[in-house]
Chains A and B, each alone.
Chain A
Amino acid sequence: MRKEQISDKEAMFVLIIYYIGSSFILGVGGEAKNDAWISVILGVVMAVPVILIYARLLSLFPEKDLFDILDWAFGKWIGKLFALVYIWYSFHLGALVIRNFGEFTNTIAIPETPMIVPMLCIGIICTVAVTSGIEVIGRISAAVLPILIIIVSTVSLMAIPKMYFHFLKPILGNGFLPIIKGGFSVFSFPFAESVLLMGVFSSLKTNKSPYRVYLLGTVIAGLLILMITFRNITVLGSTYSKFYFPAHIAVSMVSLGDFLQRIELAVAVDFVFGVFIKTSICLLVTCKGIAKLLRLNDYRSIVIQVALLMVYFSYTLYDSIMEMAGWAFKVYAYYAFPFQVIFPIILFVTVEIKVRRGKKKLQTGVGTDG
């Protein structure tokens, strides 16, 4: 089978859309209320060391993905156990994102339609994208991201008359603790979720690429999320954290005279593209993991069935939108911590020890020979 390869630019665009996928619409750092913008900065800063670990692991093993690295580092059985853990995480995360999309469409746009219908629709689109491969997902991202940035920037500029900058005050009014909690929440959703991209970034060109892609992608996405959070706070005030979809509410207040109204549709477009890319990546990583675990020739043979299972799973996850919001903002950060930080650190330490031992052995061998 032909080896798939994406350019650094495409990979970075995939990463940025992956980050902004659901965070644009759900809002981030709600714990810090009107200091959420500080939490975003803190979240990016907290994410940098972890992201450097992901990049280091990828650069040590060019053309290898997360599952190959796990296999190499831990051997056959423990490696398979870790692979199973990451298959579960990517499957669950994909289901969570699909559910966010289902709740959004069901609450905002089509309340009469059963929630499973939009969820199945996004599942079908993601199936097509994943079957086409990472190259196609990369090209879609490269085509779509500039449009998304133009939409977001235009809508934010149009929101300036509705912004009240005194909503930002009092800065640090509730102390540092809510900001740290918010920063941790921003760190785990969305920045450290990029651990799953280790499952697809085996297609990068050089071993310097992961650093460039991860660092630049994180900084650009961080700036975009900061801009959106800033806009939402200055439009909605400290009630920002009380809405399920703050970006939608904030933008629904924006209008330009009598002729440009209801531009919240633009936010929905952003969200749909974001969900599409993020779910596609989660589905791709799940299928690749299962294919490696069960030694299949091609991950494409199971994409349809895994996508269907993901949609059904997302449908059964919660009973209501309140439960979803509670889980996303109170439980998720702690639940995801082992997948995003603890296991990658264990993997990183194991890989570094093995690589250094290998180098030492090689040097000793060369010395003896000489």
Chain B
Amino acid sequence: MIVLIIIGYSLLALFELIPFYHQKHWREFWVNAGFGFCSFTIAVLLSFDVNIPSPSEPIKNMVMFVIRKLV
């Protein structure tokens, strides 16, 4: 799985990032690289079955807290 992810992201870097580098679109290059790094990290974590915390529970608790305060 990890090999597939590395190949996939290498191809993405090749077709997405390198053109920006050549065209000197630095803003696009860095934003894309930042998002790419985040998504690559999450993909690797998911491939190793690492439990990534979900925001659903904190949102639910916050909404319930606000409703209880209002009602």
- Residue numbers of A with Cβ under 8 A of B are 92, 116, 290, 294-298, 301-302, 304-306, 308-309, 312, 315-319, 323, 327, 331, 334-335
Beyond the given pairs A302-B31, A309-B39, A312-B39, 5 more chain A to chain B contacts, judged by CB atoms under 8 angstroms and listed by A's residue number, are A297-B27, A305-B38, A309-B38, A317-B55, A331-B59
CB distance from A10 to the nearest CB of B (A): 29
Chain A contacts of B27 at CB under 8 A? 294-297
Identify which of B16, B31, B63, B64 contacts A294 (C-beta below 8 A).
B31
B7 within 8 A of A: no
Q: Is the CB of B56 within 8 A of A327?
A: yes
On chain B, the residues within 8 Å of A335 by CB distance are 59, 63
Contact A317/B35 with A308-B43, A312-B46 known, Cβ cut-off 8 Å: no
Mark each residue of chain B from 47 to 71: 1 if its CB lies under 8 Å from any CB of chain A, else 0.
0000011111001100110110000
Interface size class on chain B is: 20 to 34
Interface of A, helix, strand, loop or mixed by DSSP:
helix
30 contacts across the A-B interface (CB closer than 8 A): A116-B46, A290-B31, A294-B27, A296-B28, A296-B31, A297-B25, A298-B28, A301-B28, A301-B32, A302-B28, A302-B31, A302-B32, A304-B16, A305-B16, A305-B38, A306-B35, A309-B38, A309-B39, A309-B42, A312-B39, A312-B42, A316-B46, A317-B54, A317-B55, A327-B56, A327-B60, A331-B60, A334-B67, A335-B59, A335-B63
- Is B12 positioned at the interface, with any CB of A under 8 Å from its CB? yes
Residues of B contacting A304 in the complex (Cβ-Cβ under 8 angstroms): 12, 16
Complex-state Cα separation, A306 to B12, whole angstroms: 13
Given A305-B36, A331-B60; A318-B28 close (CB under 8 Å): no
B16 proximity list for chain A (CB < 8 A): 301, 304-305
Chain A residue contacts of B39, Cβ below 8 A:
305, 308-309, 312
- Considering the complex, give the chain A residue whose CB is closest to the CB of B51: A316
